[in-house]
Amino acid sequence: MCAAPSGWDSIEHACGAQLCSRHWHLALHVGLSLGLRHVSPSILCTPHAIQCPHISEWLCVCMQDGSLLGQPWYAGNCDRLAVERALLRFQKDGAYTVRPSSGPHRSQPLTLAVLLRGRVFNIPIRQLEGGGHYALGREGKSHEELFPSVVAMVQHYAKHPLPLVDRHSGGRELTCLLFPTKP
């Protein structure tokens, strides 16, 4: 299900910290994206740092790239299972969603989920050190494309084929990001 973490009915309930006034507009969008029923100025961060360890990585990405929140393909409040179910129901190759990563990796705050031939590929979106660029997939590749934002990455792969690799067989297939999907 796409909702706030279990037991949360407000952002205050999640963390209880304060939000500086310059981030209030973002906090409202973040709270709504999390599916919370109540959003007020008493929210997730001090003036310069987010204090909630449970969702701090995801919120940091949103603060650096606030344009994610309004995208038709961004499911900020959905887990892996909800996204996979939505893509499988949609049943069109090239359907995709970006969601928060389920793993604890600081450098991989988001995941791009793509449907191809009835199978969902979950590709980590890495934020490179310094936070200035994003890349797809695991670290250690000899060549990778870098993007200034997640939005730029999605726009690129909507026009250029995205290589999808089967981690078991090593087989490669290509698809473009064609159908933005949100559970």
Residue 112 in any domain: the answer is yes
> Does 21 fall in a domain?
yes
Q: Are residues 34 and 93 in the same domain?
A: no
Q: Is residue 42 part of a domain?
A: yes
In a domain, 160, yes or no: yes
Same domain, 114 and 175: yes
* Residue 90 sits in the same domain as residue 143: yes
Q: How many domains does the chain have?
A: 2
Lowest-pLDDT range of 63-72, 80-89, 107-116: 63-72
In DSSP notation, 133-168 reads: -EEES-S--SS---BSSHHHHHHHHHHSPEEEE-TT
Q: Does 96 share its domain with 165?
A: yes
pLDDT bin (cut points 50, 70, 90) of residue 144 is confident
Q: Same structural domain for residues 96 and 28?
A: no
Does the model's pTM come out above 0.85?
Answer: no
Residue 140 confidence class, pLDDT cut points 50, 70, 90: low
**140 in a domain, yes or no?**
yes
Domain encompassing residue 46: 11-54
Q: Are residues 163 and 91 in the same domain?
A: yes
Estimate to the nearest angstrom the gap between the alpha carbon of 170 and the chain centroid. Answer: 25
CATH number assigned to the domain comprising residue 172: 3.30.505.10
- Are residues 118 and 35 both part of a single domain? no
Work out the mean pLDDT of the chain and round it to a whole number.
72
Separation CA 99–CA 62 (nearest Å) = 11
pLDDT band at 109; cut points 50, 70, 90? confident
